[in-house]
Structure formats: structure tokens, C-alpha cells
Amino acid sequence: MAIFTGAGVAIVTPMKPDGAVNYEAFARLIEFQIANGTDAIIVCGTTGEASTLTHEEHLECIRFCVNTVNRRIPVIAGTGSNCTQTAIYLSQEAENAGADGLLVVTPYYNKATQKGLKEHFKLIAQAVHIPMILYNIPGRTGGVNILPETIVSLCEEEPNIVGVKDATDNFIQYAKLMALAKGKVDVYSGNDNQIVPFLSLGAKGVISVLSNIAPRQTHDICAKYFAGEVGESAKLQLEAIELITALFSEVNPIPVKKAMNIMGLEAGTLRRPLTEMEDANAAKLEAAMKRYGLLG
């Protein structure tokens, strides 16, 4: 059984002007997501600026999210690292905090082989008891790519490795994965502009940046598809394309935090080395938000 089906939000970590985590705003964002139909919350991922958090902040954000959600929807904790032992530590602490699952990114910088990737993920999986989703995003990890054969074998060999977030932007590889998986791998799109194409080949849903500002709409793209309303699902997907393009006109999460602040959702500042959005891109983003109906 999948950890979740539908649209899970890769939630931002709101910051105060001095860069500290804004837990009051974080609680409001979590409630906004739950009230608007989000199917799961993914905390401390790329969009949550996990790479800029200390280990103590990282774990405190996970604990806070788990406690605030209070089992209303699944919470999946990002616990990946380029150091296997660190990933094990973060994963064990997330399990202790009550997370429903883990999202573990491919180790960056080290450029592990497929053998190294298998050992890395297996050691993490064997150190915990909750389900784990692999996170394949070569654009963030120096080109490191978990091949379909490796993903399938990991899911076959380790019972709590249940799936993958695919952000490879390689639909041919995704199709090969689904052909090999034969239902053994829960796949989530890592790209908001490919939700419906992924669902059409059997994906369970999306782990979404768009959901931070349009949770109901993103949920509905998935829900309508699963209800058999494929045409309406595709219509909603296409209506969001301009906004999704604007949300990735600069590196994530720069644009989505800007969009949230425009909407009054208090995402706050970014931690360096990320900087505020360029004025020209921000203007295009705001225009796309208006056309999508997020602003009056």
C-alpha cells in the first residue's frame, strides 16, 4: 500500500528576516495545506532548503511538522545526505519523531556507482522500519542517476524501500522503469509539468512545488485522473503550465517563496547562497499568478 496517493506538497521552510526558522508561520502553512486537500506533506526536502539547515534545525522541523499534522495526513521526511552514516542518523531520528515515511535523495558530490547507490540505500533502509521513497534528481546531484534496474532491485530486496520520486526529466527512462516495475514500485512525479503523463503510466501522484501556492488545484489534477475524469485532469494540468514554468524560472525554491510572499503566506526570506528573485522574473511570476487566478 502506497504511503500516499495524490498530491504531496514539498513544503517550504519559512524563515524570519534574520534567517531563523519561523515556526509560527510554518504551523499556518501546514494548516493551509491540510485545509486545501493536500494528500501528504514532504518536509525538509529541496524546496524546504534542507541543505542549509543544521542537523538540529532539520530534525526540529521534522518534529514540528509531525506534531502539527498530528496524523491527519502522512508526513514524509527528507533525510538524504551524501554521507551514508548521516543519512542513517537523520532517518532514524525522523522515525523516532513519528514520520510516516522517508524521502532519501541520491548522494550528491560523491558520484557513486550503481553498486554504491544500492549499498547506500540498503544500509539506510535496514536501519529503519518505516517506508522509504528514493529521490532521483540528477540535476541536483552532479548527474548521479539511479537506473531503473537499480530501483526495481532495491524495491524487491528491501521491503521498506517502496518507491521513487522521479525528477530526472527523462520520460523514456520513466517508461522503462514502469515496464520493469510491474507494480512493485510506487512512483511519484518530481515535476509539476508532468503530473498527468506520469499518472497515465501508473504513477501514484506527485511530490509538488506548485502545491505550496495551489494545493487544491494540484490535488484535483490527481483526484480527477483517479476518478476517471482524465480530460478534466489534463485540462487542469495545461491550465497550470504557465505558472509552473514561472515557478522554475529561477532555481527552486526562490520563485515559490516569492509567490507565497506575494500571496501573504509568509514564506519569508531565503538562506544563502540562495538570493531573492530577479525583478524581471518576479514580474512574470506575478503576472502568471494573476492569470491563474491566485491574485485579484
Q: Is 165 a catalytic residue?
A: yes
How many whole angstroms separate alpha carbon 79 and alpha carbon 91? 5
State the first-to-last Cα distance of the chain, in angstroms, to the nearest integer.
41
Active-site hit among 165, 204, 224, 258 = 165
Active-site hit among 108, 111, 118, 135 = 135
Active-site residues, by number, are 135, 165
